[in-house]
Every structure is written in C-alpha cells, then in structure tokens.
Amino acid sequence: MRRSVMMAPSILSADFARLAEEVESVTRAGANWIHVDVMDGQFVPNITIGPPVVASLRRVTDLPLDVHLMIANPDRYIEDFARAGADRITVHVEACPHLHRTIQSIRATGAKPGVALNPATPPEMVRWVLEDVELVLVMTVNPGFGGQAFLPRTVEKIPLLREWAGDRDDLYVEVDGGIDPSTAPKAVKAGADVLVAGSAVFGRADRKKALGDILEAIAHI
Ligand code: DX5
Ligand code: ZN
C-alpha cells in the first residue's frame, strides 16, 4: 500500500530575515519536513547557508530537517550538519567518488542518509547503495536555483528505483524542483512520495492554500 505523500517546503524561497516565522507558517499549513538547501558556489553556481543556520532552525522547529547538500566534497561537513541538528543528510552522487563510504559516515552520525541525482545522472548510479540509504532525491530541475521549470523526463527514473528497491517500501523517493499543482501529479504517479516545493509554497502569501493546492492535485492518484 502506498504511504501518504510528505510535503517538504524548501526554505530557499523563504524570507531569510524571518526564517522562524516562515517555518512556523508552513508548519501550521501542514508541512511534514523542512527542506534545507545548502549550496557552496562550487558544486552549484549559488551560495546559500551552512551549519549555523541549521542549528538556529533546530531551535525553532520540531519538524525533521531534511538537509540537501549541493556542495563539493560533502564528507568535510557531514559531522557539522549532523551536530547542528540535521535529521536527514542527502549528498549528490556526482560529488561523491566513494559514495558508499560517505553514506556510512552519515549513518555514523545518527542522521538518515540520502542520495541525490542530477537530471542528467542515470539512476544506475545509486543502484548498488539503495539498501544503504533511507531516501533517493530525484532532481527535477538542475540544482542551484529556485523557480525553475520542471523537467518531465527526470521522473522516468522513479519506477526503476522502485523496482530495484524491491520490497523496501520504506525507501523515500523525493522530487525536488519545479513542483507545483500541475507537476506534482506526474511525480507522484511515477512513484515519488516526498515533494519538495520552494517557490510554489513560499512564493504565495497563503501557505495553507499553497500546500493544499498541491495536496488536492494529487489526492486521487
Ligand atoms: C534547487 C533546490 C530546490 C529548490 C526548489 O536547487 O534543491 O530545493 O528550492 O525550488 P522550486 O520549488 O522553486 O523549484
Ligand atoms: Zn533541494
């Protein structure tokens, strides 16, 4: 049986000067996780936040902090993010030559490991570590910026991941980028069960309506 779909608003599109209120608003609107986009200006052409912001968020929310590391050589920072309070730490396979070892070091901190795939990266790249992770993040845009257009072919990877995961129905498949009421159904039909949404949530004043519109669009899938 399919689990219910998790909503993970990305604070990338929130007002960074009012993060606590922004998180509070999506919590009241029914968010399940808070998605935190970490960018280093190397792996992606944009710079965002680091462990101190995760530590501050930890103090103002009980929701799981879903930390998406879009950084080169993420091994250097895994412990810092875990200590700051990340519940989930997801690394990009393109940034990890020793992916299995990186996954083990995330697990050693107590955080739940995830692996992310850029749009051009084949799903085969995570096939042999699927049993070691809790989540696969399928990028549905090229990472780096909020507000980009959803790339439809990316979700074709999801049925393959599900097939390879076999009876592991606890494996989350998360989609990230361009998710809104018109694209979410495509991702959920393909088998996604965590929806990251930045601009479609924080770009609207009524957060309850923003999340509600996405949930309504997938209600009968
Ligand atoms: C993109 C980030 C996303 C981003 C999504 O690199 O990983 O989490 O915030 O933003 P939207 O939903 O606006 O595409
Ligand atoms: Zn993200």
Interval 90-124: pLDDT, tens: 999 999 999 999 999 999 999 999 999 999 999 99
| Predicted pLDDT of residue 169 | 86
Q: Which atom of ligand 1 is nearest to the CA of 144?
A: 6
Is residue 106, in this structure, part of any structural domain at all? Answer: yes
The answer to whether residue 1 sits within a structural domain is no
Please indicate whether residue 74, judged by its CB atom, sits closer than 6 Å to ligand 1. Answer: no
Total structural domains in the chain?
1
- Coil, strand or helix: which one is 66? strand
Q: How many CB atoms lie within 10 A of CB 90?
A: 27
- Measured distance CA(5)–CA(84) in Å, rounded: 27
Q: Is residue 26 part of a domain?
A: yes
The chain-wide mean pLDDT, for the chain, equals 97
37 tagged catalytic: yes
Q: How far apart are CA 209 and CA 42, in angstroms?
A: 36
Longest dimension (CA), the chain: 44
In a domain, 14, yes or no: yes
CATH code, domain carrying 53: 3.20.20.70
Q: What CA–CA distances, in Å, run from 147 to 33, 119, 160, 185, 203? A: 20, 16, 27, 18, 9
Residue 199 counted as domain residue: yes
pLDDT tens track for 117-144? 999 999 999 999 999 999 999 999 999 9
48 within a domain of the structure (yes/no): yes
Could you list the residue range(s) of the whole structural domain that residue 112 is in? Answer: 6-218
Per-residue pLDDT, 52: 98
**Predicted local distance difference test score (pLDDT) of residue 2:** 61
Q: Is residue 61 over pLDDT 60?
A: yes
144 Cβ closer than 6 Å to some ligand 1 atom: yes
- 24, part of any domain: yes
Whole-number percent of the chain with pLDDT over 90 = 98
Residue 25 in domain: yes
Confidence bin at 1 (pLDDT 50/70/90):
very low
Which of 13, 36, 71, 204 to mutate to test ligand 1, by most ligand atoms within 8 A of the CB atom? 13
Q: Is the CB of 123 under 6 A from ligand 1?
A: no
The β-bridge partners of 174 are: 137, 194
Q: Encode 103-136: b = buried (16+ Cβ within 10 Å), e = exposed.
A: bebbbebebbbbbbbbeebebebbeebbeebbbb
Q: Write the pLDDT tens digit of every residue in 169-201.
A: 899 999 999 999 999 999 999 999 999 999 999
State which of 26, 43, 145, 214 you would mutate to test the pocket of ligand 1, scoring each by most atoms of that ligand within 8 A of its C-beta.
145
Tell me the DSSP string of 112-126: EEEEEE-TTS-GGGG
Report whether pLDDT(43) > 50: yes
> Is 37 annotated as ligand-binding?
yes
- The reply to whether 85 sits in an annotated binding site is no
